[in-house]
Copies of this chain bind each other. A is one copy, B any other.
């Protein structure tokens, strides 16, 4: 972020028409080489020096975490400073409080870097697509997971093999849990649905599953069936009900999202007038995050030049949306499903399983039953037509108790176009 302000200083000044000056930088470590030229006098270990400096108009919070970051942001806003943060967890957990505080002190709070790094999706939702009712969002928001799934698909690796490559290449942290268990994507989806629907949703509103348990077998079946497996963050709105969920899903190979590979992120948005749109790019990393932070900074500078604040409110709604909205419980979600049953290789198994499915309103679209192998148990793979999550859970509970079924059934949701 400092690097981009230095490297592109001239361009930024040409665009904004004013200079953006870095007055102070607070960090616990002010001795290490930062890779950019900074006046040592502007470095401090005391964040309060910044918060109490009346000459500073805007603070940028890049600490991460909750308590300390929250405290600093609230204090800065109380002192009339605008805030830019890349802290997705903070916005997703405490967005409501932060936005109310910003309103109380008549300041702006921007968080473009908190979702999808270099992809200007926050701005697209707030402004570019602002005239649209957002009908659906299907997004790949965690680069680590997407990288792991790409390796598992292209090199037929196990989850653990792909994870260790990701770690070696710096795509995964030493503790990758927040990435691979869906939490990171769920934080980002919380922010996206808040922007799309104009309410500060909270992290707990989003259902989540990770990619940890995915077996190469299912990735292989996916590809045989014309799909790939992606960790999707999904929001859909219909009749005032909103679905918000993060989980691995089957995506048809000819869908543009299926072509989002490696550590890339992408957000597919369906607006009622714009139709389907996709925003693709690097979701993480110092440089893409810097691009987002400085873009927010330029936005605020443009406001300062005109002597205004709060031109576009944090969620881009000037008032509470009139439209009634409620979260759809996960068990009411309707989608298509992929099942992989492990069953003994004996006549009558398919009939038992399909009997239970049929009795629970689940109709089968296709079946792959592999010929007899060397094992006692063979995989039986199915794609269903649209079914309700509750019916699926109930059926699988019954099926997994059958004596011909040898292991818990694996299932994935299948996500297609919503057909706008």
Contact = CB atoms under 8 A, between A and B. Distances in A.
Nearest to A17: B318
A131 interface: yes
A305 B309 CA distance: 12
Nearest to A11: B133
Given A275-B288, A278-B281, A323 B11 contact: yes
Interface stretch (A119-127, A243-251, A334-342, A401-409): A119-127
A18 B281 CA distance: 34
Nearest to A280: B278
B280 A280 contact: yes
A118 B277 contact: yes
B295 A127 contact: yes
A281 B291 contact: no
B273 A118 contact: yes
A66 interface: no
A91 interface: no
A8 interface: yes
B118 A275 contact: yes
Given A256-B280, A259-B259, A271-B291, A15 B120 contact: no
Contact of A306 (B8, B306, B317, B323): B306
A316 B123 contact: no
B320 A14 contact: yes
A125 B321 CA distance: 29
A316 B11 CA distance: 11
A397 B164 CA distance: 54
Contacts of A118: 271, 273-275, 277
B260 A274 contact: no
A80 interface: no
B298 A131 contact: yes
A49 interface: no
A198 interface: yes
Contact of A4 (B273, B298, B307): B273
A265 to B, nearest CB: 10
Nearest to A320: B14
B319 A17 contact: yes
Interface string A260-295: 100000100001111111111110010110111011
Most buried by B among A8, A10, A273, A285: A273
Interface of A: 4, 7-8, 10-12, 14-18, 112, 117-120, 123-124, 127-133, 198, 256, 259-260, 266, 271-282, 285, 287-288, 290-292, 294-295, 297-299, 302-303, 305-308, 311-312, 316-323
Given A8-B272, A277-B279, A311-B311, 12 more contacts: A8-B133, A120-B124, A123-B124, A124-B128, A130-B298, A275-B285, A275-B288, A277-B282, A280-B280, A302-B312, A306-B308, A308-B308
23 contacts: A4-B131, A10-B322, A12-B131, A14-B318, A14-B323, A15-B317, A18-B318, A120-B124, A120-B127, A123-B128, A124-B128, A131-B298, A132-B291, A256-B280, A273-B287, A273-B291, A274-B281, A274-B291, A274-B292, A275-B281, A276-B282, A278-B279, A303-B311
